[in-house]
Chains A and B, each alone.
Chain A
């Protein structure tokens, strides 16, 4: 009997844990929306967080975008040779960078860099009672800690992604000219072929939602950390895994809704 019941119990416990986490995250989201009114608490920290979340993430995002652009150009050329005119390399690099790989790869990389950082920072503050200390000093910890980070994520992810898109396209362009013997005119012709201004909007909307996801999930897991260093480690890992999964789901969602 136990053999049958124990997997059922495990699933039940898992579901209860997930529902509990969702509920707590929901409450935190409501508190954060409420805390938006307390500008005097979060506004002084917004610029600093924008620098941490956005500016400091630029090198990593550009590194990823550079090599993504190179690989896209090489794979497009390999696929198209003899079947499709080579200027379609420009089309594929441009479309894929802007619509998909720019936002998604940047989002996934930053869920590791930014999301883990936020979960570890807030988690450490939780287990060392620094969040209780904020409350004891009459600070609303959600307004003070969560709101500036989440706003910085929403505002700065699109900036980082636009830069990554640009660098990815430029690296694909240079690759096409240097390694594929394409002319600059050919690449630009392909790049312009199916370009629509909405592609940029799509990329920005997606990346803003990824920014919200990574920072909010990092804050939620950090905020509800329990149990010392091990708890902080667990919260950090869960934050990265959860935000990566949500990014992939959102990626499909935006594709279905907006394209």
Chain B
């Protein structure tokens, strides 16, 4: 077991977002968590690297209880986890090459030339070769997302967490991003966790899919199992038929 979230509860003021969220992510697989906007998918993701701490429950990564780690141990753990943010979260005062090299620089194990070289290779992997000197503001939405990928893979992490990687992108760019996620899994053997509400992407990239509904996992299975699920909530969501979900007792 590589990543495990056990009975996570999280509230922001009166708003209880997660109400007993549990999920196991198998090593070497890509798991997608689907669910409506505002259902708490990103909140669950942020618990994995300790950006948020649960009010109740435990988060385990490689046998370490993340919710109990001190700040320094968290920083060590985060070096094994790449995080692709929903809107890329590139540092806008830095060039793409500097952005991509930030994680390597922090590790303190590489010379400037090695960092530059590795950054260029990562940009090349996401088809942004020659863009290293540009600032994030000079890129399109899709290019920014890809640059975010390059930054996440630069340190060769064991895990990559993708927070809504295709939201707001056109179908062609979405396909490019999906392709990248699959390449990360195949070529770099990373374990992936994808947060999405795009069902086409989820079916394309996932080994397993879990549906988050009302603060907890409602259904989990392979893409085929999800496609054939009888649960009206799952069916309603993947087919875009809210009337099925509303008919729930």
- On A, residues with C-beta under 8 Å from B are 40, 128-130, 132-140
Q: How far is the CA of A128 from the CA of B75 in the complex (A)?
A: 21
Selected contact of B106 from candidates A128, A129, A130, A139, CB within 8 Å? A139
The interface centre, meaning the residue of B78, B87, B89, B151 with most chain A CB atoms within 10 A of its CB, is B89
Q: Give 5 nearest A-B pairs by CB, closest first.
A: A129-B89, A133-B89, A136-B83, A138-B75, A137-B103
Knowing A137-B103, A138-B103, A138-B106, the reply to whether A129 touches B76 (Cβ < 8 A) is no
Q: Which residues of A contact B107 (CB under 8 A)?
A: 138
Within 8 A of A (CB), among B41-91: 46, 49, 51, 71, 75-76, 78-79, 81, 83, 85-87, 89-91
Knowing A130-B91, A132-B46, A132-B51, the reply to whether A137 touches B102 (Cβ < 8 A) is yes
Selected contact of A139 from candidates B49, B89, B102, B151, CB within 8 Å? B102
- Whether the Cβ atoms of B76 and A128 lie closer than 8 Å is no
Q: How many Å from the CB of A30 to the closest CB on chain B?
A: 12
Selected contact of B49 from candidates A40, A130, A136, A140, CB within 8 Å? A136
- Whether the Cβ atoms of A137 and B78 lie closer than 8 Å is yes
Selected contact of A128 from candidates B81, B83, B89, B108, CB within 8 Å? B89
The interface centre, meaning the residue of A128, A129, A133, A134 with most chain B CB atoms within 10 A of its CB, is A133
Write the chain A residue with the least CB distance to B71: A140
Say if the beta carbon of B225 comes within 8 Å of chain A: no
* Count of B interface residues, CB-CB < 8 Å: 23
Q: How many Å from the CB of A2 to the closest CB on chain B?
A: 21
Q: How many Å from the CB of A42 to the closest CB on chain B?
A: 13
Bitwise interface map of B from 150 to 172 toward A, beta carbon under 8 Å scored 1, else 0: 01000000000000000000000
Q: Which residues of A contact B243 (CB under 8 A)?
A: none
Q: Which residues of B contact A139 (CB under 8 A)?
A: 75, 102, 106
Say if the beta carbon of B92 comes within 8 Å of chain A: yes
Knowing A137-B78, A138-B78, the reply to whether A128 touches B102 (Cβ < 8 A) is no
- Whether the Cβ atoms of A128 and B87 lie closer than 8 Å is yes
Write the chain A residue with the least CB distance to B77: A138
Q: How far is the CA of A134 from the CA of B151 in the complex (A)?
A: 11
Q: Which residues of B contact A138 (CB under 8 A)?
A: 75-76, 78-79, 103, 106-107
Q: How far is the CA of A140 from the CA of B74 in the complex (A)?
A: 10
Q: Which residues of A contact B108 (CB under 8 A)?
A: 40
Other than A136-B51, A136-B83, A137-B102, give 5 A-B pairs with Cβ distance below 8 A. A130-B91, A132-B83, A136-B81, A137-B78, A138-B107
Write the chain A residue with the least CB distance to B108: A40
- Whether the Cβ atoms of A133 and B106 lie closer than 8 Å is no
Q: How far is the CA of A133 from the CA of B136 in the complex (A)?
A: 14
- Whether the Cβ atoms of B87 and A129 lie closer than 8 Å is yes
Q: Which residues of A contact B49 (CB under 8 A)?
A: 135-136
Q: How far is the CA of A136 from the CA of B79 in the complex (A)?
A: 8
Q: How many Å from the CB of B216 to the closest CB on chain A?
A: 24
Q: How many Å from the CB of B119 to the closest CB on chain A?
A: 13
Within 8 A of A (CB), among B22-39: none
Q: How far is the CA of A139 from the CA of B90 in the complex (A)?
A: 14
Write the chain B residue with the least CB distance to A142: B71
Q: How many Å from the CB of A120 to the closest CB on chain B?
A: 13
Bitwise interface map of B from 98 to 112 toward A, beta carbon under 8 Å scored 1, else 0: 000011001110000
- Whether the Cβ atoms of B85 and A135 lie closer than 8 Å is no
Knowing A137-B103, A137-B106, A138-B103, the reply to whether A132 touches B85 (Cβ < 8 A) is yes
Write the chain B residue with the least CB distance to A34: B71
Q: How far is the CA of A133 from the CA of B86 in the complex (A)?
A: 11
Q: How many Å from the CB of A20 to the closest CB on chain B?
A: 12
Q: How far is the CA of A138 from the CA of B92 in the complex (A)?
A: 18
Q: Which residues of A contact B83 (CB under 8 A)?
A: 132-133, 136
Q: Which residues of B contact A40 (CB under 8 A)?
A: 108
- Whether the Cβ atoms of B85 and A129 lie closer than 8 Å is yes
